[in-house]
Structures are given as structure tokens and as C-alpha cells.
Amino acid sequence: MAFQKIRKAVFPAAGLGTRFLPATKAIPKEMLCLVDKPLIQYGVEEAVAAGCTEIIIVTSRGKSTMEDHFDKSPELEATLAAKNKTALLEVARSVSKLAKVTFTRQPEPLGLGHAVLMAREIVGDEPFAVLLPDDIVDAATPCMKQMVEAFHETQSTILGSEVVEGDAIQNYGCLDCNPDPHNPRLLAVKHLVEKPRPAEAPSQNAIIGRYILTPRIFEMIEGITPGAGGELQLTDAIKALLEHEKVYGYSYEGKRHDAGDKQGFLRATVELGLKHPALGPDLRAWLKAQSF
């Protein structure tokens, strides 16, 4: 097989975001603002830092603000230019210049596997990245960049993974795996178990919202039947892929925030707010002065 690069990144963003109601009644979850930018922008920046040049966002009805966000905004730019607000002008412009961003629709939220399948035509016959926009990974080397580097070694499907504590494994896909003898961050996957009972979990290695998938996954998604909640589960398709190809976990370096639920989002806001170069110092001083 010829050496393959990861050029395209798919962002499933067509879900209903019910855990965030009422905020998500009219605003897409992926557009909720964490500190000073929408969730999806963190993921897109990470994919671009990993070398991806084409971003494919899977959307649905009522989510057109994502299209506006990554498009040029001539009126805003003209106003900022007229007022000589050059720094803000650069901020506004840079978002639309991040990458080529295309959109495709998922007509109904039939599951993560189904959302990925919607990108098949645009992805074509090459390996690609998938990033779930509500998993925000704060890392010195962006998480997807770490995974792309590992992919250069394996040329196989790679699932972002982290060790979770205790019973938390029941909320994730779980890896039954062995560490690779040459690269301790790579885990050779033998089997996957979706949301196992803690006593039955083969490990504490959970799958997070970062994937590099080979194009054969599309065939696998088409071959599976709806699983939990009547949805086409990406994990079931990866299980099917395991029968044909090698699959690895990748124990990334960094800290993940689950910004897909309210508590995780609040914690991410505080932690990333404190790390923000312009806002952090004041926020820290203010927090210290409070007697909550």
C-alpha cells in the first residue's frame, strides 16, 4: 500500500444536543462559546494543526450558523477596517481562512456511524480524521497531530484513547488491547466493548472523540444494523473493521474536557479561561478574591 497522508477531517455535528437544553433549542451545541470561541472552532484548529486541509462538517436543519462562522463576513470586515480595528479584523478574517470547509447534511440523527457515512462521497477512497466537536483536548502537541504522526507509522485505523477512573468506563467504548512493543502510546486492539458494565470491562482504556479511519469503514457502516438507541454506532462498524484490518488505540498526551454536558462545559470554561493569555490573569485574581 502506498504511504497515505491525512488530508481530510470530518466533524459530525448533526446531533440534537439534548443534554444542553434549553441552550440548544435554537443554537447548535457545536456553536456554544467556550471562553471566546465556539466549540467547533477548537476542533477545526486542531485538525488544521495536524495538517488537514479539508474540513467536512456534517450538519442538519437549524445549524446554518456554522456555515456563517467559517465563511467570510464582508460587512463585519469592512466596518472593522473603516474603524482601524486591525487586531479584531485579523481575528474575524482568520476564521474563514483556516481551511477549505465544506458541509454535508444528515437528514435525521441516526447515529454517529450514520453521520460519518454522510461524508463518504467527499472523503472518497483515502484515510481521514474524525473529531467530535464536544471533546476539547488541551495538549502541547494537538491531539490529532499526535495521532497523525502515529498513523505515519501504522497506516491503520487509530482511535484516540485515555485511561478513565473506576466506573466511568461504562460511559465509553472500551478497548481490549495490548501495548505495542515499539511505541508505548500505541495499543494494538483485539476487541471493542461499547459501554461495558465496570466488572466486565476488559480495560480502563476508553475511546474518546478522535479517530483516524481507513475508507473501508464506510463499507462496514453500511453493513451494520442499528444498535443501542436504534442508531448506527461507529463503534459497531469499527468492530467489523477489526475482522479485516489492524486497529490501534492511541494514548494521547494532554487533557480532555467533555464539553458535551453542562458540568464538563462549566469546568472547561474555568480551566481554559484561566489558561487564556489575555483573560486568564484577571480571572485568576478575581476567583481568588471571592469567598463563594
Smallest separation, CB 182 to ligand UTP (Å):
32
* 186 touching ligand UTP, by CB under 6 A: no
> Where does residue 61 rank: exposed (0-12), middle (13-18), buried (19+ CB within 10 A)?
exposed
**DSSP code string of 244-282:** TS-EEEEE-SSEEEETTSHHHHHHHHHHHHHH-TTTHHH
Nearest CB to ligand UTP, comparing residues 20 and 218: 20
DSSP 99: S
* 173 touching ligand UTP, by CB under 6 A: no
Asked whether 9 and 131 are in contact (CB, 8 A), the reply is yes
Smallest separation, CB 208 to ligand UTP (Å):
11
Which bin fits 287, alpha (ψ -120 to 50), beta or left (φ > 0)?
alpha
Taking the C-alpha atoms of residue 130 and residue 206, their distance in angstroms, rounded to an integer, is: 16
Q: Applying CB under 6 A, which of residues 18, 84, 263, 290 lies at the interface with ligand UTP?
A: 18
Q: What is the footprint of ligand UTP within residues 259-278 (CB under 6 A)?
A: 260
Stretch of residues binding ligand UTP (CB under 6 A), selected from 11-19, 82-90, 195-203, 215-223: 11-19
Smallest separation, CB 112 to ligand UTP (Å):
5
Q: What is the footprint of ligand UTP within residues 23-62 (CB under 6 A)?
A: 29-30, 58
* 17 touching ligand UTP, by CB under 6 A: yes
* 112 touching ligand UTP, by CB under 6 A: yes
Taking the C-alpha atoms of residue 257 and residue 134, their distance in angstroms, rounded to an integer, is: 8
Which bin fits 222, alpha (ψ -120 to 50), beta or left (φ > 0)?
alpha
Stretch of residues binding ligand UTP (CB under 6 A), selected from 47-55, 72-80, 132-140, 189-197: 132-140
Nearest CB to ligand UTP, comparing residues 101 and 132: 132
Residue 135 β-bridge partners = 258
Give me the amino acid identity at 1.
Answer: M
Q: Strand, coil or helix: what is 142?
A: coil
Strand 247-251 and strand 157-163: the pairing is parallel
Q: One symbol per residue from 92 to 111: x for binding ligand UTP (CB under 6 A), - otherwise; what is it?
A: --------------x--xxx
* 291 touching ligand UTP, by CB under 6 A: no
* 120 touching ligand UTP, by CB under 6 A: no
Strand 33-34 and strand 135-138: the pairing is unpaired
Q: Which residues bind ligand UTP (CB under 6 A)?
A: 12-20, 29-30, 58, 106, 109-112, 114-115, 132-134, 260
